[in-house]
Amino acid sequence: MERIRFIAAAPVRSASEAWRVVSTLLADTLECSSSVPIGSVGKELAFLKGLGPALIAGGHLESKGLVLVDQGLHLTIRVLTADAALDVEENLNPVPGGASATDGWTLYLPPAGPLDSAVEVAVKNSPHLSTDAPSASAPAVKSDDTSRSLIDVNALRRLGNKP
């Protein structure tokens, strides 16, 4: 399911603070999963240190935003400024689907004009960052996971044997 979250930047909070909020939301969401170690998301996002606030300050995350994609997870994060920031209703809770995230998650960054070259450098340093166009929807959950039954058939049989 495609989801979108809006984060307020200036004048509600500075670009640096807004980036911290974005980073926390990403970490809180992905690190719900046992496949994503605690602290690992922050390490990857460290490659965007300085660059993330610059993207926000330049308005590059206003229209297209960041897109987080993993199996069963498709999250767009748009960071709004000016009047739009004053009207935004933020939901900073971890995004549903995070608990089943894998270590193959990818954060797609939008075109950033004069910052493109700096973004490319960051992307080269992390396998979890990309400047490619994200898929339009979340990849399906792998069959290994979907075939995991929720119901114990033997327990059902025992239920049938009860008087």
Q: Is 38 in the site for another protein (CB under 8 A)?
A: no
When the beta carbons of 114 and 162 are compared against another protein, the nearer one is 162
How far, in Å, CA of 106 to CA of 95, rounded? 15
When the beta carbons of 98 and 134 are compared against another protein, the nearer one is 98
Q: How far is the CB of 151 from another protein (least distance, A)?
A: 4
Q: Is 94 in the site for another protein (CB under 8 A)?
A: yes
Q: How far is the CB of 147 from another protein (least distance, A)?
A: 6
Which one of 42, 87, 92, 93 is in contact with another protein (CB under 8 A)?
93
Q: How far is the CB of 52 from another protein (least distance, A)?
A: 24
> What order do you get walking across the sheet with 73-80 strand by strand?
2-8, 73-80, 66-70, 106-108, 129-130
Q: Is 35 exposed, middle or buried (0-12, 13-18, 19+ CB in 10 A)?
A: middle
What's 136's DSSP letter?
S
Site string for another protein, 47-86 (x = CB under 8 A): -------------------------x--------------
How far, in Å, CA of 131 to CA of 116, rounded? 9
The residue length of the chain stands at 163
When the beta carbons of 38 and 159 are compared against another protein, the nearer one is 159
Strands 106-108, 73-80: pairing kind: unpaired
Q: Is 1 in the site for another protein (CB under 8 A)?
A: yes
Binding site for another protein (CB under 8 A): 1, 3, 32, 72, 91, 93-100, 146-153, 155-156, 159
